[in-house]
Amino acid sequence: MDAISVIRTKRDGGRLSDRQIDWVIDAYTRGEVADEQMSALAMAILLNGMEREEIARWTAAMIASGERMDFSSLPRPTADKHSTGGVGDKITLPLAPLVAACGAAVPQLSGRGLGHTGGTLDKLESIPGWRALLSNEEMLQVLADTGAVICAAGDGLAPADKKLYALRDVTATVEAIPLIASSIMSKKIAEGTGSLVLDVKVGSGAFMKNIEDARELAATMVGLGTDHGVRTVALLTDMSTPLGLTAGNALEVRESVEVLAGGGPADVVELTLALAREMLDAAGLRDADPAKALADGSAMDVWRRMIAAQGGDPDAELPVAREREVVTAPASGVLARLDAYAVGVAAWRLGAGRARKEDPVQEGAGIELHAKPGDTVVAGQPLMTLHTDTPEKFPYALAALADAVEVAPAGTLVEPVPLILGRVA
């Protein structure tokens, strides 16, 4: 077996055999297959796809590359959530403590930013002292003590995926449905959660641009989870407009804390509660009321304990970028469109994301929104504020935003896009 023959098979549109898949995943994990070879294979998979049986075997090989966790010692049912990524998608931050406050244990393994989409770990690392890297024993202890943990997957959990996840980000292969599905589900299945809710984003700011591709990805992942004994359901949610009013790291943490305090943008609250209800239902906790836990402060209590348990200071001041620039409305009227992808790229260029897997991110960088589609605006009023420590990045961010905004004449009725577009179970 050799890498070139495996690459050639998929390059020419063939089906990879079980033996080829098992070998290439194992050899890549051990370093026998080089990054450039796996990059070529990933591109071939992006262009030519995989059959259902190939995806299932690829996922099983990713799981087999490492260990499997066991949370059976916990007195609570386990429930996890995964988002396919978007712009301003800070939902994990308020969601994990909220579901824990309702009686479930939430072992939330999260990732870093991919391209224009933000990473949960990057956001939380803007909290002074907070640690993403926990041992399995520490993860279990935080879960037992607080009911929720948000951390990076350990080196022993699907190590093949950890290598491939970083590689996809810098080789333009993030959007491949077989690689997205196997990446997400290999970690979630190996993690050992009893139930899983998937938030599959649809729209310009998501990897899935249309509802058909999103439904295909959702169905693939739900099938993979079900086949491995994990109760899995997916919501299809809109990502044509950024979620909430912030895109960045510390900026999104602030907004998440506002939600936990009983405020925050309506769309963030709506999606947080919808996903919480799905997670609690999947965990068998159908009588729990997440809206009550958000209102009475119990979710905030879990947040504070969870952050402190991972070394963070929930009362610390969050980082603030040194430089700001305001983008104003080009005309008076009704804001008809605010493109999520353009905002994500601009935030990325300001320093909130990374161009290479080795790059650091700026904790305070990002974009603060002052209006959303449907709002009345006046020419010259602030539409958004750009934040960065490196002002030389402003022109590049502004270039990304050149066609991001559309203002319709006053009185124009802008029909809101539903936040939740469908459900796959």
Residue 360 has a pLDDT of 87
Structural domain including 152 reads: 80-309
367, 248 Cβ separation under 8 angstroms: yes
Domain count, the chain: 3
Residue 39 annotated among the catalytic residues of the structure = no
Is there a single domain that holds both residue 330 and residue 368? yes
Whether residue 90 is contained in a domain is answered as yes
Selected catalytic residue, list 39, 182, 183, 204:
183
Residue 166 has a pLDDT of 81
Dihedral sign (CA 98, 100, 106, 111): positive
Residue 168 annotated among the catalytic residues of the structure = yes
Residue 232 has a pLDDT of 97
Residue 393 annotated among the catalytic residues of the structure = no
Q: How many CB atoms lie within 10 A of CB 5?
A: 10
Residue 110 annotated among the catalytic residues of the structure = no
Residue 372 zone, left/alpha/beta (φ > 0; ψ -120 to 50; rest): beta
Is there a single domain that holds both residue 270 and residue 158? yes
- Quickly tell me which residue has 């003590």 as its tokens: 145
Residue 337, beta-bridge partner list = 406
Selected catalytic residue, list 22, 80, 122, 161:
161
pTM: 0.91
Residue 365 has a pLDDT of 97
Whether residue 58 is contained in a domain is answered as no
Residue 357 has a pLDDT of 66
Is there a single domain that holds both residue 300 and residue 334? no
Last residue within a domain, chosen from 309, 343, 362: 309
CA proximity to 160, closest of 72, 29, 50, 351: 29
242: domain CATH number is 3.40.1030.10
Rounded to whole angstroms, the Cα distance separating 177 from 77 reads 30
CA proximity to 123, closest of 297, 298, 347, 279: 347
Selected catalytic residue, list 123, 162, 168, 188:
168
pLDDT along the chain (425 residues), means of 10: 96 98 97 96 97 94 93 94 94 98 96 82 97 94 97 87 85 88 92 95 93 95 92 98 97 98 97 98 96 97 98 98 98 98 97 80 97 97 98 98 97 93 96
350: domain CATH number is 3.90.1170.30
DSSP for residue 210? S
176, 46 Cβ separation under 8 angstroms: yes
Is there a single domain that holds both residue 272 and residue 336? no
Pairing of strands 195-202, 231-238: parallel
348, 115 Cβ separation under 8 angstroms: yes
Residue 372 annotated among the catalytic residues of the structure = no
Selected catalytic residue, list 57, 116, 162, 187:
187
